[in-house]
Amino acid sequence: YAVVLKETGEPVGSCGIMFADGLHSAAMRQGEAEIGYWIGKPYWGQGLIPEAVNTLLDRCFNELALDAVWCGYYDGNSKSKRVCEKCGFKYHHTEEDKPCALMGDVRTEHFTYLTKEQWSDTQDKVNFMEVKNCEKALLVIDMQNVCVGEKQE
């Protein structure tokens, strides 16, 4: 999915849902997926990726009927760790010596985990999905330009 600024339509990052055949950790089971994301440096720290991840969590649990979702971050990437925390993921385990193809090196990766039940409990307290009412709202769109992040009325 593309992460696009709502006000300008400018693409600033990407995010996605990966299933068992493309996942980083061997700990994943059937009925689970992993969320990954990237955002351009000028947009770091603005809350855009947590918004996108929360939108994808809604899709994972309500539309795809998944049981749990994973999200990983590399050692030293405190911003990605913070995204996981903000979105309700809980630390699960660490895997060392993981090849990072995009960077051409080997890294330590920390994995976080969120079950549908845990996510549902947070939804009772805070409705993360009211994207169009957020100050820094964004759209998450798929390749057919279908809005995923806003409720259709």
Give the tens place of pLDDT for each residue, 7-43. Answer: 898 999 999 999 876 556 667 788 999 999 999 999 9
Residue 85 has a pLDDT of 94
Q: How confident is the model at residue 152 (pLDDT cuts 50, 70, 90)?
A: very low
* CB proximity list for 128: less than 8 A, separation 6 or greater: 51, 54, 57, 58, 122
Residue 63 has a pLDDT of 94
Distance CA 14, CA 3 (A): 5
CB atoms closer than 10 angstroms to residue 20: 13
* CB proximity list for 140: less than 8 A, separation 6 or greater: 1, 2, 3, 4, 15, 52, 55, 56, 147, 148, 149
Strand 2-5 relative to strand 138-141, pairing = antiparallel
Q: Is the dihedral of CA 84, 55, 40, 138 positive or negative?
A: negative
> Rounded to the nearest 5 degrees, what angle is found at the Cα of 115, between the Cα atoms of 55 and 140?
10
Compare 135 and 103 and report the one with higher pLDDT.
103
Q: Indicate whether 107 pLDDT > 80.
A: yes
Residue 124 has a pLDDT of 59
Residue 88 has a pLDDT of 94
> Rounded to the nearest 5 degrees, what angle is found at the Cα of 130, between the Cα atoms of 124 and 132?
175
What's the chain's length in residues?
Answer: 153
Mean of pLDDT values over 48-69: 94
Mean of pLDDT values over 43-60: 93
Task: Please name every residue paired with 99 in a beta bridge, in sequence order, or none if there are none.
Answer: 106
| Unique residue bearing structure tokens 């899709």 | 59
Model pTM?
Answer: 0.77
